Amino acid sequence: MQKRFTAVFEDTGDGWIAQVEQIPGTRTQGRTLEEVLCRMGEAAELILAALEEREEIRGTKKT
């Protein structure tokens, strides 16, 4: 199942920053919007995988 989240992007004048508020810690930056989009996808995947693994270790994963 694919999950959808909303990312917030901000042009800083020197580049871009982005975050996904629903996934704590998912923040990134880059020189171009394209770079930030790519990095955001990678960051979200890594954090979600880590959170899922943590739930499996704790035995709290909902099936």
6-42 residue pLDDT tens: 999 999 999 999 999 999 889 999 999 999 999 999 9
Inside any domain, residue 34: yes
To 5 degrees, how large is the angle CA 20–CA 25–CA 38?
A: 55
> What b/e readout covers 11-45, taking b as 16+ CB neighbours within 10 angstroms?
eeeeebebbbeebeebbbbbeeeeebbebbeebbe
Inside any domain, residue 13: yes
Residue 54 has pLDDT above 70, yes or no: yes
The band of 3, judged by pLDDT with boundaries at 50, 70 and 90, is confident
Inside any domain, residue 52: yes
Residue span of the structural domain in which 16 resides? 7-58
Residue 1 has pLDDT above 80, yes or no: no
User: How many domains in the chain?
Assistant: 1
The band of 2, judged by pLDDT with boundaries at 50, 70 and 90, is confident
State the pLDDT at residue 56. 67
Tokens of 3: 């999950």
Q: Which helix (H) or strand (E) is 32 found in, with range?
A: none
